[in-house]
């Protein structure tokens, strides 16, 4: 059997007949009973008691000092950049090989992205590319990192833990510390991924998660900011709730805020999902191990988690030899209703970011031509293992 046929038949074996999505959420009676509790209480909007419960569950799971639930991952990024003082005219260092939300969020503050290359093994920002770009472009002026050419302040650095694979975040933070650049860790895809024993999102200054329907766990739409910095957390909480000064009944606001808090009905889903997360991670590890054995046998190149890190196996990714191979695999699998997807187009090629600063992006371009995600959901046949009745 050739590689493609072996891969497709493996996927059919794991996921069965019919259309196979790339990643779909799993629900059972646990979600329904939380939702019923929420609807019966009539508190469906922000901020009900289940929001606090969901935040507590996330804090326990990630060991974050502070967790603030918001409406989506993009809002979490927007608030994170905002509380770190990113402002109009600043430059924010990020990846060209990434989801558009990170660069969108910094642009909401009228900052500009600087697109740096990724490492081929982690698909995340290369600390070497970062160090080289900073050394040749940035100098400290009055204690602040400033781009010598443009005169812009470097507001933040925002690497991504792509597909749940931890990037070299410790090295990135070390480089950024030398320039007093705060790090926003986009951990949207990496719930359950660790560097050493530390959960992703908690190595940089501030971290963000997404609970969109395609992520490891979902709240319908949702996101979260995590940090161990108490004053940053307080700022995020305040800005996310229209900057309202806490009071029993008075409406007073002390700055322009956002309506970004997570509604209670979304948190209801989140509470149920968090009670399953450990088992979901275990099942997804089995799916990833199944793929790994096949990849070994048929010499299919794939992206693996690095030594010293634990990946959540959110999306499994393979690396084709050429762009032509990638295109023909995508065509073939989608024809068969096996919804494989290519990695993102480089953001530096999108019209709104055409003028953005960048380095060579050589690994990013190479990967953009070759990386494909394969279906990675919890298989239907394993759902019975997840907690069902309300605890
Ligand atoms: C999903 C995702 C986001 C945005 O999250 P939303 O909840 O969809 O706004 C941001 N960054 C990355 C890397 C993502 O995968």
Out of 69-73, 235-239, 387-391, least confident range: 387-391
Q: Span 184-197, mean pLDDT?
A: 97
pTM to 2 decimals? Answer: 0.97
Q: Which atom of ligand 1 is nearest to the CA of 210?
A: 7
**Residues of the domain holding 69:** 29-274
Q: Which residues contact 293 (CB under 8 A, 6 or more apart)?
A: none
Q: Is 391 inside any structural domain?
A: no
Q: Which residues contact 203 (CB under 8 A, 6 or more apart)?
A: 169, 170, 173, 183, 185, 195
Same domain for 237 and 323? Answer: no
Same domain for 43 and 148? Answer: yes
Residues in contact with ligand 1 (CB, 6 Å cut-off): 72-74, 98-99, 101-102, 160, 186, 188-189, 210, 212, 223
Q: Residue 389 above 90 pLDDT?
A: no
Q: Which atom of ligand 1 is nearest to the CA of 72?
A: 7
CATH at residue 34: 3.40.640.10
pLDDT at 46: 84
To test the ligand 1 pocket, which listed residue (69, 160, 188) has its Cβ within 8 A of the most ligand atoms?
A: 188
Q: Which residues contact 137 (CB under 8 A, 6 or more apart)?
A: 147, 148, 149
Same domain for 210 and 313? Answer: no
To test the ligand 1 pocket, which listed residue (166, 190, 201, 212) has its Cβ within 8 A of the most ligand atoms?
A: 212
Same domain for 262 and 289? Answer: no
Query: From atom 4 of ligand 1, which residue's Cα is the shortest distance away?
Result: 73
Identify the band that residue 232 occupies on the pLDDT scale cut at 50, 70 and 90.
Answer: very high
Nearest to 202 by CA among 165, 177, 154, 166: 166
What's the per-residue H, E or C state across 25-90? CCCCHHHHHHHHHHHHHCCCCCCCHHHHHHHHHHHHHHCCCEEEEECCHHHHHHHHHHHCCCCCCC
Q: Span 70-88, mean pLDDT?
A: 98
Same domain for 20 and 47? Answer: no
CA dihedral 77, 105, 368, 123 (to 10 degrees): -20
Q: Which atom of ligand 1 is nearest to the CA of 101?
A: 10
Q: Which atom of ligand 1 is nearest to the CA of 223?
A: 7
Same domain for 192 and 291? Answer: no
Tokens of 47: 């901020």
Q: How far apart are the first and last CA of the chain?
A: 47
Same domain for 286 and 371? Answer: yes
- Domain count of the fold of the chain: 2
Same domain for 9 and 43? Answer: no
The sheet with strand 91-95 has its strands ordered as: 154-158, 91-95, 112-116, 357-358
Look at residues 274, 297, 320 and tell me which one is the last residue of a structural domain. 274
Same domain for 171 and 281? Answer: no
To test the ligand 1 pocket, which listed residue (189, 219, 269, 376) has its Cβ within 8 A of the most ligand atoms?
A: 189
Same domain for 105 and 121? Answer: yes
Q: Span 361-366, mean pLDDT?
A: 98
Q: Is 366 inside any structural domain?
A: yes
Out of 40-54, 134-148, 180-194, least confident range: 40-54
CATH at residue 353: 3.90.1150.10
Ligand 1 geometric centre to CA of 100 (Å): 8
Look at residues 253, 274, 295 and tell me which one is the last residue of a structural domain. 274
Same domain for 207 and 305? Answer: no
Look at residues 225, 243, 274 and tell me which one is the last residue of a structural domain. 274
Identify the band that residue 391 occupies on the pLDDT scale cut at 50, 70 and 90.
Answer: low
pLDDT more than 70, % of the chain: 99
Instruction: Name the average pLDDT for the chain.
Output: 97
Nearest to 102 by CA among 150, 44, 167: 167
Ligand 1 geometric centre to CA of 30 (Å): 25
Instruction: Summarize pLDDT for 140-166 with one digit per residue, the tens.
Output: 999 999 999 999 999 999 999 999 999
For helices 362-370 and 323-335, the axis angle rounded to 10 degrees is 30
Q: Which atom of ligand 1 is nearest to the CA of 160?
A: 13
Query: From atom 2 of ligand 1, which residue's Cα is the shortest distance away?
Result: 188
pLDDT at 47: 73
Ligand 1 geometric centre to CA of 298 (Å): 33
Identify the band that residue 1 occupies on the pLDDT scale cut at 50, 70 and 90.
Answer: confident
Same domain for 228 and 304? Answer: no
């Amino acid at each position: 059997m050739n590689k493609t046929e072996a891969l497709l038949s493996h996927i059919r074996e794991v996921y069965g007949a019919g259309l196979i999505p790339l990643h779909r959420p799993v629900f059972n009676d646990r979600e329904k009973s939380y939702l019923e509790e929420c609807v019966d209480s009539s508190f469906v909007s922000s901020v009900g008691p289940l929001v606090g419960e969901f935040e507590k569950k996330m804090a326990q799971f990630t060991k974050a000092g502070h967790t603030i639930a918001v409406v989506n991952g993009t809002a979490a990024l927007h608030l994170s950049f905002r509380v770190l003082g990113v402002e109009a005219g600043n430059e924010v260092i990020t990846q060209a090989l990434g989801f558009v939300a990170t660069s969108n969020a910094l642009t909401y503050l009228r900052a500009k992205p600087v697109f740096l290359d990724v490492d081929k093994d982690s698909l995340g920002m290369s600390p070497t590319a970062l160090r080289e770009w900073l050394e040749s472009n940035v100098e400290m002026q009055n204690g602040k990192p400033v781009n010598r050419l443009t005169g812009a302040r470097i507001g933040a650095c925002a690497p991504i833990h792509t597909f749940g694979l931890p990037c070299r975040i410790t090295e990135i933070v070390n480089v950024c510390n030398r320039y007093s650049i705060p790090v926003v860790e986009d951990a949207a895809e990496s719930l359950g991924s660790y560097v050493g024993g530390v959960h992703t999102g908690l190595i940089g200054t501030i971290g963000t998660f997404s609970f969109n329907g395609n992520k490891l766990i979902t709240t319908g739409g949702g996101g979260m900011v995590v940090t161990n910095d108490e004053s940053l957390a307080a700022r995020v909480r305040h800005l996310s709730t229209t900057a309202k000064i806490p009071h029993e009944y008075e409406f007073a606001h002390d700055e322009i805020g956002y309506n970004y808090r997570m509604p209670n009905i979304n948190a209801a889903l989140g509470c149920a999902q968090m009670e399953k997360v450990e088992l979901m991670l275990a099942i997804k590890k089995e799916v990833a191990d199944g793929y790994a054995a096949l990849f070994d046998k048929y010499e299919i190149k794939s992206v693996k988690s690095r030594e010293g890190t634990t990946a959540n196996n959110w999306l499994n990714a393979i690396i084709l030899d050429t762009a032509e191979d990638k295109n023909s695999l995508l065509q073939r699998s989608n024809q068969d209703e096996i919804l494989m997807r290519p990695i993102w187009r480089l953001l530096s090629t999108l019209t709104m970011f055409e003028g953005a600063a960048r380095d060579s992006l050589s690994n990013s371009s190479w990967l953009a031509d070759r990386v494909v995600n394969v279906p990675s959901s919890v298989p239907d046949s394993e759902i019975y293992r997840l907690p069902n009745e309300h605890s």
